[in-house]
Amino acid sequence: QSVLTQPPSASGTPGQGVTISCSGSGSNIGNNFVYWYQQFPGTAPKLLIYMNNQRPSGVPDRFSGSNSGTSASLAISGLRSEDEADYYCAAWDDSLSGRVFGGGTKLTVL
Amino acid sequence: EVQLVESGGGLVQPGGSLRLSCVVSGFTFSNYIMNWVRQAPGKGLEWISYISVTGRTNYYADSVKGRFTISRDNAKNSLYLQMNSLGDEDTAVYYCARDKDSSTWFDYWGPGTLVTVSS
C-alpha cells in the first residue's frame, strides 16, 4: 500500500485532456513539493514535473502540475499516442523521513 | 553527456548479500546528491536510499533500514549499495538516480540492474 494514492489507470482519446490525481496527507503533499515521473515499459523513469508545477527543459507544456491541500494533479492536454505510459507522483514524507512514490497510473490513449 | 550505469545485479539466494555499483560520467559527481530507487517486477517505483554529496547524511526506506547501506566514492565517480539479508521481496530492478539540486529530484537515471533473490 503506497503512502501516496493514485488511480491505477486513466485513459483518453487523442487530442483530449486527462488528469491524474495523487492523494496524500499533511506529512507529505500538504507540506512538501510534489514530483511527477513518466515511465515507458522496460525503461528508466523520466522527470516530468518538479517543485509541484515546474517543467524541466524539453518537457512539453502540454504537461502541467498543480496542488491543492493534500492532493496533487498531473494534467496532460492534447493527448498523443506517445503519452501512453506509467505516471508516478513522489514527495518527501515528514513522518517517515523519506521519499515516497505513488503506486503509479497507467495511461492508455485510446 | 550525463550517464549513470549500474552493475552488480544478479541471482542471489535468500539471506545472501550483494553489492551494487553505479558509475557516473558527464558531470561533477561530488556536487550531487544521489539515490537508489527500485522497482519489483510489474510493480511501482520505491525509493530506498539517499546520500548527501559528502556521504555524511543518509536516509533509508523502512523496508531496507538496517539491511542496506549506501555509500559513495567521489574520487571514483561511484555510488554503491551494499545489500545484506536479502529476501524475496528485494527482487527488483535497482536504479541509481541523481538529484539536480535539493528541489529537483531524480533528474537523471541509470538503465537499472536486476537483482533476483531466489533459491
Q: What is the per-residue pLDDT for A50?
A: 96
pLDDT recorded at residue B103? 86
Contact B50 A51 (CB under 8 A): no
The Cβ of residue A22 has, within 10 Å, a number of other Cβ atoms equal to 30
Q: How many CB atoms lie within 10 A of CB A97?
A: 11
Question: Which pLDDT value is given to residue A26?
Answer: 96
Residue type, A24: G
CB A27 within 8 A of CB A94: yes
Let me know: does A65 contact A29? Beta carbons within 8 Å: no
* Cell of residue A73, nine digits: 494533479
Residue A98: enclosing H or E segment and its boundaries? strand A98-101
> Grid coordinates 557516473 are at which residue?
B24
Predicted local distance difference test score (pLDDT) of residue B110:
98
B chain contacts of residue A37, beta-carbon cutoff 8 Å: 45, 106
Report pLDDT digits (tens) over A51-107: 999 999 999 999 999 999 999 999 999 999 999 999 999 999 999 999 999 999 999
Residue of B nearest to A48 (CA): B107
DSSP secondary structure letters along chain B: --EEEEE--EEE-TT--EEEEEEEESS-GGGS-EEEEEE-TTS-EEEEEEE-SSS--EEE-TTTTTTEEEEEEGGGTEEEEEE-S--GGG-EEEEEEE-SBTTB---EE---EEEEE--
Q: What's residue B101's pLDDT? A: 87
Q: What sign does the dihedral A45-A46-A52-A53 (CA atoms) show?
A: negative
> Would an 8 Å CB–CB cutoff place A1 in contact with chain B?
no
Q: What is the pLDDT of residues B61-91, one digit of tens each?
A: 999 999 999 999 999 999 999 999 999 999 9
| A98 to B62: CB separation less than 8 angstroms, yes or no | yes
| pLDDT for the residue numbered A9 | 97
Scan for cell 501516496, then name that residue: A4
Give residue-wise pLDDT tens across range A1-60. Answer: 889 999 999 999 999 999 999 999 999 999 999 999 999 999 999 999 999 999 999 999
Q: What is the pLDDT of residue B64?
A: 97
Task: Say how many CA atoms lie within 13 Å of B77 toward its Cβ.
Answer: 12
The whole-number pLDDT of residue B7 equals 98
Say if the Cβ atoms of B47 and A46 lie within 8 Å: no
Q: From the list A2, A39, A96, which residue is nearest B62 (CB)?
A: A96
Residue among B45, B60, B111 whose CB faces A104 most closely? B45
The single residue listed with the C-alpha cell 524475496 is B88
Q: Which residue of A has its CA nearest to B5?
A: A44
Q: Is there a contact between A102 and B59 if contact means CB atoms under 8 Å apart?
A: no
The CA distance from A59 to A47, in Å, is 9
CA angle A29, A33, A37 (to 5 degrees): 95
Q: How far is A39 from chain B (nearest CA, A)?
A: 10
Walk along chain B (119 residues) and give the pLDDT tens digit of each residue: 999 999 999 999 999 999 999 999 999 999 999 999 999 999 999 999 999 999 999 999 999 999 999 999 999 999 999 999 999 999 999 999 999 888 889 999 999 999 999 99
